[in-house]
């Protein structure tokens, strides 16, 4: 497993150089007990993982809590966790790279606060990429984010295969459809 830092890239290939065909992007976070106006008993913060596809420099399709799969069936969101409670991954998105529509050049993975809380109240946030059950890479958020969203990583085509790039940039949105234009610079 590789711990990625902002701007770092990783080729998605087997040890013998064959391109991976199926990966899972999992995100997790912990809610700070001091979130909100009341220090104790603060309500959980509902973060949502999303995957947004781009083709030709434009929005193509997405998978998130309100639209669980892309039209090509390649990207599937496995369900909404509205609290961030519990151990391990909070939301999971699978990507069948072989099924991604050929015009799609990149897929952004982001986390956003549905209720509009800034991500300063979240800790232990991470995004990890798996091949089957093997963790290939992890990107851990280390600083508080003052925005309501975070572009965590991007998958992008690299010849016949794909690469993962760590981004880690805050963005002002509550759902991925709030501002698709704001996502374009990351695509």
Strand arrangement, sheet containing 22-31: 2-4, 134-140, 122-131, 22-31, 91-96, 75-77
Please give the average per-residue pLDDT across 5-9, as a whole number.
85
Strand pairing partners for 50? 110
91 near 152, Cβ under 8 Å? no
Any idea where the domains of the chain sit in the sequence? 2-11+20-32+44-175
Query: Taking residues 69-87, what's their average pLDDT?
Result: 78
pLDDT at 74 exceeding the cut of 60: yes
DSSP class of residue 72 equals T
Distance CA 55, CA 111 (A): 21
Looking at residue 38, its pLDDT comes to 46
- pLDDT, tens digit, for every residue of 130-153? 988 888 888 776 556 777 788 888
Q: Does domain 2-11+20-32+44-175 have CATH number 2.60.60.30?
A: yes
Q: CA–CA separation, 1 vs 164, rounded Å?
A: 13
Rounded-to-integer distance, Cα 143 and Cα 121, Å: 11
Report how far residue 18's alpha carbon sits from residue 148's, in angstroms, rounded to the nearest whole number: 38
Stated pTM of the model? 0.85
pLDDT of residue 39: 47
For residues 38-50, average pLDDT = 66
Residue-level pLDDT at 150 = 82
Share of the chain above pLDDT 90, in %: 36
Mean pLDDT within 101-106:
96
Can you tell me whether residue 108 is helix, strand or coil? strand
**164 within 8 A of 9, measured Cβ to Cβ:** yes
């Amino acid at each position: 497993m590789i711990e990625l830092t902002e701007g770092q890239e990783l080729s998605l290939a087997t040890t013998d150089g064959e391109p991976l065909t199926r990966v899972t992007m999992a995100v997790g976070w912990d809610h700070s007990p001091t979130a909100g106006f009341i220090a104790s008993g603060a309500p959980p913060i509902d973060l949502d993982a999303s995957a947004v596809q781009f083709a030709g420099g434009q929005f193509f399709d997405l998978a998130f809590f309100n639209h669980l799969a892309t039209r090509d069936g390649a990207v599937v969101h496995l369900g909404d966790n509205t609290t961030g409670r519990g151990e391990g991954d909070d939301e999971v998105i699978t990507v069948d790279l072989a099924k991604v529509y050929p015009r799609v050049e990149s897929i952004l993975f982001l986390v956003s606060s549905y209720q509009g809380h800034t991500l300063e109240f979240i800790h232990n946030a991470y995004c990890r990429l798996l091949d089957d059950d093997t963790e290939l890479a992890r990107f851990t958020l280390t600083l508080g984010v003052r925005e309501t969203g975070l572009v965590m990583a991007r998958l992008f085509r690299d010849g016949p295969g794909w690469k993962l790039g760590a981004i880690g940039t805050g963005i002002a949105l509550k759902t991925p459809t709030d501002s698709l234009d704001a996502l374009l610079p990351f695509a």
